[in-house]
Amino acid sequence: MPSLTQILGEQSPVLLIDAASATVQVAVLARGQAPRWAASAKEAGVGLFECLDQLDAEIGAMRGFAFCEGPGSILGIRTAAMAIRAWDAIAPRPAYAYCGLAVVARALGRPAAAVIADARRGLWHRIRDGGALERLPGPELSGELVTPEGFRHWDPLPPDTSTVPYDLAALLGDPAVASADLFRLTAAPDAFLHAEPSYAKWVPQIHRAP
């Protein structure tokens, strides 16, 4: 898995999109140049393009893309992924996915398992040993935990859980984070799923009176 530093060394500039939280964050990143960031509190379908306008970003000039694949807002993440897929269809370029919880853990110097995010229905996302994302019931979580700011949660936070900023400009600006192997190349940008969705089969029948 490459680091952000390695990616920028090979594909600059790169457009980074993070729509996992309530704030859409977009950046134009290039080796040897100051990063340019924009943010919007609007829903992803509007906020993403508002950020692009703020940055005056030329999509055709980008040599690669990076995005947060989760956990977080599925709608926001898929909006970002859909945009990247559309741009890639016009001019193929590499796309890299990362996990926001892993970025926060590396920036804080905390064990990855200490950073959590709501997974609904009484479950919480957590990175287990080895880097895989898992879901755990709240009662199984213990110790001092943190959750990124702006990540919605429907259940009360587990005991001893505090909120930490989710400011990508600061998090990825940390050399320890930028040099960490947190990104993975993907040919099909999409939101992270623990399992592929399954659907119940329905057999249509003509309604008949009793």
Residue 128 to residues 74, 113, 172: CA-CA distances in angstroms? 21, 6, 22
Residue 7 to residues 4, 30, 74, 113, 144: CA-CA distances in angstroms? 5, 9, 25, 26, 33
- Is 167 part of any domain? yes
**What pLDDT does residue 132 have?**
86
Q: Using CA atoms, how far apart are residues 4 and 183, in angstroms rounded to an integer?
A: 7
pLDDT band at 206 (very low <50, low <70, confident <90, very high): confident
**What pLDDT does residue 193 have?**
77
Q: Using CA atoms, how far apart are residues 27 and 19, in angstroms rounded to an integer?
A: 12
**What pLDDT does residue 194 have?**
65
- Is 75 part of any domain? yes
- Is 176 part of any domain? yes
**Structural domain that includes position 58:** 4-186
- Residue range 60-106, pLDDT digits in tens: 999 999 999 999 999 999 999 999 999 999 999 999 999 999 999 99
- Is 156 part of any domain? yes
- Residue 126 C-alpha from the chain's centroid: 14
pLDDT band at 197 (very low <50, low <70, confident <90, very high): low
- Is 164 part of any domain? yes
- Is 205 part of any domain? no
CATH of the domain at 92: 3.30.420
- Is 170 part of any domain? yes
pLDDT band at 199 (very low <50, low <70, confident <90, very high): low
Asked whether the predicted pLDDT for residue 131 surpasses 80, the reply is no
- What's the number of domains the chain is made of? 1
End-to-end CA distance of the chain: 63
Q: For strands 123-127 and 133-137, give the pairing.
A: antiparallel
Asked whether the predicted pLDDT for residue 204 surpasses 80, the reply is no
Are the CB atoms for 151 and 166 separated by under 8 Å? yes
- Is 197 part of any domain? no
**What pLDDT does residue 119 have?**
94
